[in-house]
Structure 1
Amino acid sequence: MTKFSDLALDPRVLKAISEAGYETPTPIQAQAIPHALQGKDVLGIAQTGTGKTASFTLPMITLLGQGRARARMPRSLVLAPTRELAAQVAENFDVYAKHTKLTKALLIGGVSFGEQDKLIDRGVDVLIATPGRLLDHFERGKLLLNGVQIMVVDEADRMLDMGFIPDIERIFSLTPFTRQTFFYSATMAPEIERITNTFLSGAVKIEVARQATASETIEQQLIALTPSRRDRSFSEKRAVLRELIKAEGEACTNAIIFCNRKMDVDVVAKSLKAHGFNAAPIHGDLDQSVRMKTLDGFRDGSLHLLVASDVAARGLDIPAVSHVFNFDVPTHSEDYVHRIGRTGRAGRQGKAYTIATPSDDKYVGQIESLIKKPIPRGETPAIEIREGAPDRPERSERRPSSRDRGEKRPRPVADHGREASREPFRPTETVEAVEPVREERPREERAPREQRPREDRSRSGERRSDSRSDNRRDSRREDGPVVGMGDHMPDFLLRSFAPASSE
């Protein structure tokens, strides 16, 4: 069996690996590290949780052992799709490079440009960044990429899903063509294959498992739910989720619950907390400090349930996750593999439950076609079905209404009259429009025209017009109803414009 000591790594790196408690590399590490140390481009295809991060971090530290970085010109570049994944790569670098003098910088959103500029100005050996923040620094003239010797693209298929491929292509064009490239992905979509053919030269392809396959250590179950009514589907799915967690009992030491929409992540997390569960949400709209605090709490065990969008589905090293619950069936079949791959890592046993309604049948079929086997069906737990109101957020999940705030909504005036008389409403034969009587003040008491507002409102909300419109209405009331152009015919219409006779 291959050991790390057989891979020709730097002795300082081997010491750090030993202190971290590792002796035997994973299959992708054992195959990728020797080619990387020979200076070859590497195309790695492996499912999540197989140790891809260390497979490029360890040879990078060894290759960069000689040399010195210059200001604003990093010697290597690692691109990650999310802030959390970039931070995880930085943590791996800290662990394995602690006995070397190599420096690093982390460029992610949510951190001030000033602090990041200071790190770049000193010169860094390893630059770890998300594509958007990296290009921001480059366009501000704070970063040069023509000194990059090694470039790594991690979770390339996730980059494709998030729309980063044009940014990746631009970044490739800014780096020297003599660079060494490590390209890692869990799946090989046609667009990703096109990029690898364009920017990788004589790459060694390493595929340690069939593309998009689930680990055999994960026990999968599909919970089929038929809602009592369509508008109650969301609330009944939450009830099924709670029953599944309760049924697992102490076996569920911690769990990640995946939702398709960020809005549902917040609602499900609040619902679980309202029912006494220790849960917190994480998705892309939260502040970076909140996201990191939530992840730290989940790692150290102070947080039991992590309700997440797919931002947490890829690449995050969260060890010993006992359960994964798919509250929503993912619309992309590859996401199913990445979600359930959060459990059953490093040879541990894990469980993955997926709650599906009849509207999800199409997506379930796509997933089963991808993983080449049907998902075992589990027993749907019994839940209490509430009659009456349709599905809506619980009181703690929705905005307070006027009734919650103690406000009284006035009833219509017509209703008061009808209730007081207890007689049905009977319209009269004819309804005449009654012009409101306006009390005129003596002319000498009225303010001059230039001092009077052209229009104002009375306390009752009625509009008051200026005196000219009032005079016109008064004249119409005196002359009777106006028909067509009015009863008065202007004189000029009755005049004849025939030329006068010359006689």
Structure 2
Amino acid sequence: MLFSEIGLGPEVLRAVEDAGYSQPTPIQEKAIPWVLQGRDVLGCAQTGTGKTASFTLPMIDILASGRARARMPRSLILEPTRELAAQVAENFEVYGKYHKLNMALLIGGESFGDQIKKLERGVDVLIATPGRMMDLFDRGNILLSDIKILVIDEADRMLDMGFIPDIERIVGLLPKMRQTLFFSATMPPEIRRLADAFLMNPREITVAPPASPAATVTQAVAMVRGEDKREALRHLLRTEDVKNAFIFCNRKRDVALLHQSLTKHGFNAGALHGDMVQSKRTETLEQFRQGEIALLCCSDVAARGIDIAGVSHVFNFDVPHHADDYVHRIGRTGRAGKTGRAFMLATPDDSRTLGAIEKLIGREIPRIMIDGLETPDMSEGEGDGGRRRRGGRSDSAAKVGSRRRGGSRSDAASEPPREVQAEAATVAEETVEARRPERPERSERPERQDRPERGGRDRDRNRNRDTRGETREGGRSEGSRNDTRPPRQDDRGEPRRRWRDEDDGPTVIGFGDDVPAFMLRVARPVARTVPPETFDGSDTPEA
């Protein structure tokens, strides 16, 4: 089937032909007609099959008629990463060059002012990441009441990155009458639940088993020890015919360290991860696309949707934590029917994760050996499935630390059994307890007055105690330093005196020995009341 047979307009067909495409992919062939009819679509296809064009092409045709208003976009496309959003924007520029459609790209790391200016002029297509989208909405720069088409792309990646609450809030702000297109490479139960909530009587399209790698990608895994992974990677880069390659790490810190290591050994490498500023990320990706950088060390930020033609290899320096991520990583090669090669470096601690990947793809990944490196026994990591020891170090890490302290690999591996270690620890504890001097009983300890005088603050404290003078009855010192001050006075100018039991009453509870002055005043006399029958007018009671 040709693009001209699926109902697209002449301007879109002309742009597709200029881009060099004549036949649609299976997902495009099945999805585009339903999108043109205005139906909700739930599309599930493996990475690299052309999902982006399956919604951009019909959207351009639908939005060709109509006019955008200020701050009221007519369509919204949500993407999980900045790179994927920028790539979708590039596709709109290529396929919509014969249409006068305005587009705005809202991603983090870019100026708010430029994005707000585009929104005020009115946009037909709004491409955004959820975070920046909600920032501008909360500022009052976007009105979502005129959205006619909503596209949620890479929904499973949205789930992994924690964007689902933002997606639910955004969908709640949109009009009820709209067309929703939902695309994902995998279909876990959470994504199925969201699709049921967002879509109305959707047309479900599945062109390949979920989370299945492309058949054009040759896969292999090399079993190495953790300390040999960099050497194994360099061996593969030298022996393989590598034109350009993605090298994936699980952590951003490892991306930077691996990039430094490869550069030190003379490889033309770059780095890409989420902590880089957006301008640097865009520049690095463009250099890799143009061939100025041959090797790109990256995190999973580059594992979704980035379409760079002709990538020959993908190397998984770390086994991904989630089995689905393996399929997305190796999907960067072997795209559009081309062949590619994917290698993964696994350690004994990765045995359980490797098994999950093989269970997901439905077959075992072939094992290869690296010349000059020892192949470890994978059973070393099966007992605990890669669990860490107390203190966060794995078995392999403990062996590496032992070797760095001067021990050999055989010394680290030939540790005594745990029973022997426990018995030795018990004997050592008993020895320490036996050597500890016995403390005298409390009755045998010297009294306080017999102890030698200490220095420092204790000596000063004793000196102050000696100069206080004799102690009066009740435990208070007559010669304390309070006596050097003039006695405090009440509000009548008379010296305040202490309240004692022999005065007018017992000591007031709650004030200690000092009673406030207002409670020591003599109360004013109460007016004397004269009975009416004895009042002769000669004596007037006090007011």
Report if TM-score (shorter chain) is over 0.5: yes
Task: For 1:219 and 1:381, locate their aligned partners in 2 and report how far apart those are by CA, in whole Å.
Answer: 20
TM-score, normalised with respect to structure 2 = 0.71
Q: How far is 1:253 from its partner?
A: 0.2
1:116 aligned residue: 115
**Counterpart code for 1:107:** L
Q: How far is 1:266 from its partner?
A: 0.3
Choose the corresponding residue for 2:229, options 218, 233, 237: 237
1:308 aligned residue: 298
2:151 aligned residue: 152
**Counterpart code for 1:493:** T
8 Å CA contact 2:106, 2:132 repeated in 1 = yes
Task: For 2:260 and 2:352, locate their aligned partners in 1 and report how far apart those are by CA, in whole Å.
Answer: 29
TM-score, normalised with respect to structure 1 = 0.77
2:530 aligned residue: none
Question: Which protein has the larger Cα radius of gyration, Structure 1 or Structure 2?
Answer: 2
Choose the corresponding residue for 1:491, options 457, 469, 490: 469
Task: For 1:495 and 1:291, locate their aligned partners in 2 and report how far apart those are by CA, in whole Å.
Answer: 83
**Counterpart code for 2:26:** P
1:147-226 paired onto structure 2 within 5 Å: 147-225=146-224
1:471 aligned residue: none
CA change 1:495–1:185 in 2 (3 A) is: closer
Q: How far is 1:481 from its partner?
A: 7.0
Q: How far is 1:72 from its partner?
A: 0.5
Task: For 2:200 and 2:40, locate their aligned partners in 1 and report how far apart those are by CA, in whole Å.
Answer: 7
1:277 aligned residue: 267
1:367 aligned residue: 357
**Counterpart code for 1:238:** R
8 Å CA contact 1:42, 1:204 repeated in 2 = yes
2:371 aligned residue: 381
1:140-197 deviation per Cα after TM superposition (whole angstroms, max 9, x unaligned): 0111011000010000000000000000011111111111011000111222111110
1:320 paired with 2:310, answer yes
Task: For 2:473 and 2:282, locate their aligned partners in 1 and report how far apart those are by CA, in whole Å.
Answer: 90
Choose the corresponding residue for 2:345, options 340, 343, 355: 355
Identify the structure with bigger relative contact order (alpha carbons < 8 Å, sequence gap 6+): 1
2:71 aligned residue: 72
Task: For 1:495 and 1:54, locate their aligned partners in 2 and report how far apart those are by CA, in whole Å.
Answer: 99
2:496 aligned residue: none
Runs of 4+ in 1 over 4 A off after TM superposition: 383-388, 480-487, 494-497
8 Å CA contact 2:244, 2:295 repeated in 1 = yes
Q: Secondary structure at the match of 1:364?
A: helix
Task: For 2:105 and 2:98, locate their aligned partners in 1 and report how far apart those are by CA, in whole Å.
Answer: 19
8 Å CA contact 2:235, 2:370 repeated in 1 = no
Q: How far is 1:314 from its partner?
A: 0.4
Q: How far is 1:23 from its partner?
A: 0.2
Q: How far is 1:31 from its partner?
A: 0.2
Q: Secondary structure at the match of 2:236?
A: helix
1:464-489 deviation per Cα after TM superposition (whole angstroms, max 9, x unaligned): xxxxxxxxxxx999xx9789688937
Task: For 1:113 and 1:496, locate their aligned partners in 2 and report how far apart those are by CA, in whole Å.
Answer: 76
Q: How far is 1:389 from its partner?
A: 3.6
Matched-pair identity in %: 57
8 Å CA contact 1:476, 1:482 repeated in 2 = no
Task: For 2:101 and 2:80, locate their aligned partners in 1 and report how far apart those are by CA, in whole Å.
Answer: 24
- Which sections of structure 2, spanning at least 5 residues, go unmatched? 375-399, 407-452, 476-499, 501-543
Q: Secondary structure at the match of 1:492?
A: coil
Task: For 1:223 and 1:353, locate their aligned partners in 2 and report how far apart those are by CA, in whole Å.
Answer: 7
Alignment size in residue pairs: 403
8 Å CA contact 1:255, 1:304 repeated in 2 = yes
1:133 aligned residue: 132
8 Å CA contact 1:244, 1:381 repeated in 2 = no
8 Å CA contact 1:150, 1:180 repeated in 2 = yes
1:263 paired with 2:256, answer no
Q: Secondary structure at the match of 1:241?
A: helix
1:32 paired with 2:31, answer yes
1:118-154 deviation per Cα after TM superposition (whole angstroms, max 9, x unaligned): 1000101100000111111111011101100001000
Task: For 1:353 and 1:70, locate their aligned partners in 2 and report how far apart those are by CA, in whole Å.
Answer: 50
Task: For 1:143 and 1:482, locate their aligned partners in 2 and report how far apart those are by CA, in whole Å.
Answer: 73
1:458 aligned residue: none
**Counterpart code for 2:236:** L
**Counterpart code for 1:244:** L
8 Å CA contact 1:71, 1:123 repeated in 2 = yes
8 Å CA contact 1:57, 1:93 repeated in 2 = yes
Q: How far is 1:386 from its partner?
A: 13
